[in-house]
Structure 1
Amino acid sequence: MFAILLAIGIGAIFAGQTAINAQLRKFVISPLLASMISFAVGVIFLTITLLSSGSSLGIPIDLFLNQPIYIWLGGIGGAIAITTNILLFPKLGSVQTAILPILGMTLMSMLIDHYGWFNSIQYSFGWNRIFGLLLVLLGVFLATAIRSKKNDQISLLTNKENMLKQWIWRIVGILAGMLLAIQIAINGQLGKVLHSASHAALVSFFVGTITLIIIVGLMDRSYTNIKEPFKHSAPWWIWIGGILGGSYVLINVFLVNQIGNGQTVVLVLFGQITGSLLVEQFGLFNSIKNRMEPLQIIGLMVMIAGVFLIRIF
């Protein structure tokens, strides 16, 4: 029971990471800089956690020479996905920012499983997986369609333009989820190579941080906005997005060993969607408040059922 509650709880807590990072972006302006800060905090948190457990941070040099280059680059996908979520949050709200990447993750993870990409174990498509995918698609439609319908107060032309932009952002959200699925598969292999999921998580966060430091230098050409939250007395919690991300990775590792991968995925996603509902319903972390409709809640439950079919059977 403790493991089940922990899985749901960490999923719900992780749903707040995007809302927190979105608020951080308001102070530092750049979504890239906000992502960089989140990843850097995650690196510090994971480093302290590993050192506290008595583990070494070192990696044998021969592993860099003997392993394929992609195995070290999972953090790049994570950096892009987190930055995308920061961009999506003010455009689509908490719930859609949570469920659209889940759709992308589901689609890509099915392809990875089917073809055995990244040296993963092959699981061919079965009727249960196909039916589960259809349920996920139906759930996403129910959860997002009603929100689109509520934009009818504006002129027809403006409404069409807004709807087009919304669907572009939704597609971006799905692609971000696909990148996350690739990152998970790569990090899974890295964990096997390093014989430590915690070390794999630290490598992923470190690579993501370096990637974002370089991109911020090239695109924003300045890191000075890091001090803006201090100048404007920002709430303390805007700095903890990286801690939530690091905790999410570590607790997932613990849960997989306790209750298995399939149950962990389903329970954590259930918690994540529940958390996103609470964020949007009550406007937590200074986000925009949107009252949930019954049809949206039904859609989310249908989506969870679809993920259950895909991951458990």
Structure 2
Amino acid sequence: MLAVLFGVFVGTVMPIQTSANSRLRRSVGSPFLASLVSFAVGFLALLLAVLLIDAHLPPLSQATGMPVWIWSGGILGVVVLTGNIFLFPRLGSVQTVVLPITGQVMMGLLIDHLGLFHAPVHRLDAVRVLGALLLVAGVLGTMLRPGQALSGGHSSGWSLWAWRAAGVVFGMFSAAQTAINGQLGVVFGSALGAALVSFAFGVVTLLFINLALRNRWRLDVSAGNPWWMWIGGFLGATFVFGNAFLSPVLGTGLTVMTILLGLMAGSLLIDHFGLLGAHRRRVTLLQALGLALMVAGVGVIRL
């Protein structure tokens, strides 16, 4: 039960990270530069935590002979982050959230059922399917408001469906990242070490992207630059560590679902109270019912 509660807590940091990184993007001008700064801050925070808690760097030699995919968690994280940048203007806010979450849940259950990425096996049955459906329905309920449609982007026809499929795939990549980092943590004997390596690959990947795009560092001092815009990397480090720690304990599917529950709860709290500069929007009855459905979905699978 404590692991489930920790997963919910880890999920709540994600909307805060999104708000911080969005604000950072306004100040530096480029989403890729903002992502690089966020990853670099997270890497430094994890490096300090590893040196203080583990007292040594991750034993990379222990992963010798492991499949190549064991190192891909950080790269998948960059792909997912970049994918959301491209999805939002084409699909609108609701689909940009719901479709990747659907992909996460589907892939999480598939990883558990087949034991992919050396994950613990949890066979798919009617109860787990019911829990997944309740969670996805709850996500949709928390995202929609009266009069709000699923559309909202600028794509149409086959292009629209291609981007919808991409949204599901990006979500599947996110679930795979959870399982991969969890296995890397098992190999190292440290979830912190796994998160550090994942962030290191992410930093290197984003550094190459920014060099290829010839993005130049700038900081708009006229933008105000609140202190909290720099904490996105620290919160991202917490998220990746949480995934690496919980995946071997709960299984990939339940880890994904508990974190999604926390993510949606955190998002509603930010909207309801207008935190971190967000426009204040009261939580509706439909959204409260959606959150209750998500709790029910997680509870069905866990119990």
TM-score, normalization: structure 1? 0.79
The one-letter amino acid paired with 1:83 is T
On the 8 A contact 2:182/2:247 being kept in 1, the answer is: no
Partner residue in 1 for 2:132: 133
The equivalent residue for 2:277 is: 286
Pair 67,109 (structure 1): closer, same or farther in 2 beyond 3 Å? same
Q: Is the 8 A contact 2:139 2:264 kept in 1?
A: no
1:261-300 → structure 2 map (5 Å cutoff): 261=250, 268-300=259-291
Among 138, 148, 151, the alignment partner of 1:150 is 148
Partner of residue 35, structure 1: 35
1:140 to 1:22, Cα distance in 2 relative to 1, 3 A = same
| 1:12/1:276 contact within 8 Å kept | yes
Whether the 8 Å CA contact 1:98–1:276 is kept in 2: the answer is: no
Q: CA deviation at 1:193?
A: 1.4
CA contact (8 A) 1:103 1:136 kept: no
CA RMSD of aligned residues (A): 3.5
Match for residue 221 of structure 1?
A: 214
> Alpha carbons of 1:229 and 1:178: their partners in 2 closer, same or farther (altered >3 Å)?
farther
Alignment partners' CA distance in 1, 2:246 and 2:227:
29
Given that 1:96 and 1:144 are in contact with CA atoms closer than 8 Å, whether structure 2 keeps it comes out as: no
Residues 1:277 and 1:169: Cα distance change in structure 2 (over 3 Å): farther
Q: Structure 2: how far apart are the matches of 1:8 and 1:187?
A: 18
**Higher mean displacement: 76-85 or 201-210:** 76-85
Q: Which has the larger displacement, 5-14 or 229-238?
A: 5-14
Mapped partners of 2:36, 2:120: distance in 1: 33
For 2:115 and 2:268, how far apart are their aligned partners in 1?
A: 34
Deviations 1:135-155 (A, max 9, x none): 2333234334546x3369xxx
The answer to whether the Cα contact below 8 Å between 1:27 and 1:229 also exists between their aligned partners in 2 is: yes
Q: Say which is worse superposed, 169-178 or 15-24, in terms of deviation.
A: 169-178
Identity %, equivalent residues: 40
Match of 1:113 in 2: 112
Residue 242 of structure 1 and its aligned partner are, at CA, apart by: 0.7
The corresponding residue for 1:81 is: 80
Distance 1:142 1:7, change over 3 A: closer
Contact 1:132 1:309 in 2 (8 A): yes
> Which letter does structure 2 place at the counterpart of 1:134?
L
Cα distance in 2 between the residues matched to 1:74 and 1:160: 29
Q: CA deviation at 1:232?
A: 4.0
Q: Please name the residue that 1:207 is paired with.
A: 201
The 3-state SS of whatever aligns with 2:209 is helix
Displacement of 1:92 after TM fit? 5.0
| C-alpha distance in 2 between matches for 1:240 and 1:143 | 26
- Deviation (angstroms), 1:186: 0.7
* Matching residue of 1:308: 299
Residue 219 of structure 2 aligns to a residue whose secondary structure is helix
Distance 1:6 1:136 in 2: 18
The aligned residue for residue 155 of structure 1 is: none
Give the whole-Å Cα distance in 2 for the aligned partners of 1:283 and 1:87. Answer: 26
Distance 1:97 1:278 in 2: 19
When residues 170 and 290 of structure 1 are mapped into structure 2, their CA distance, relative to the original with a 3 A threshold, is farther
C-alpha distance in structure 1 between counterparts of 2:191 and 2:152, whole Å: 47
Letter in 2 for 1:29: G
Per-residue CA deviations over 1:178-198 (Å, capped at 9, x if unaligned) read 211100111111111111111
Per-residue Cα deviation, 1:221-279 (whole angstroms, up to 9, x for no partner): 12x23x3145644111111101011123445667789xx52787665443322110022
- Structure 2 residue aligned with 1:57: 57
- Report the Cα distance in structure 2 between the residues aligned to 1:108 and 1:19, rounded to whole angstroms: 27
Aligned to 2:183: 189
| Cα separation, 2, equivalents of 1:44 and 1:246 | 9
Gaps of 5+ in 1: 153-157
Tell me the CA shift for residue 203 of structure 1.
0.4
Q: How many residues matched? A: 299
**Residues 7 and 192 of structure 1: CA distance in aligned 2, closer, same or farther (over 3 Å):** closer
Task: Tell me, in whole angstroms, the C-alpha distance in 2 between the residues paired with 1:289 and 1:171.
Answer: 32
After TM superposition, give the deviation of residue 307 of structure 1 in Å: 3.2
Identify the residue that residue 71 of structure 1 maps to in structure 2: 70
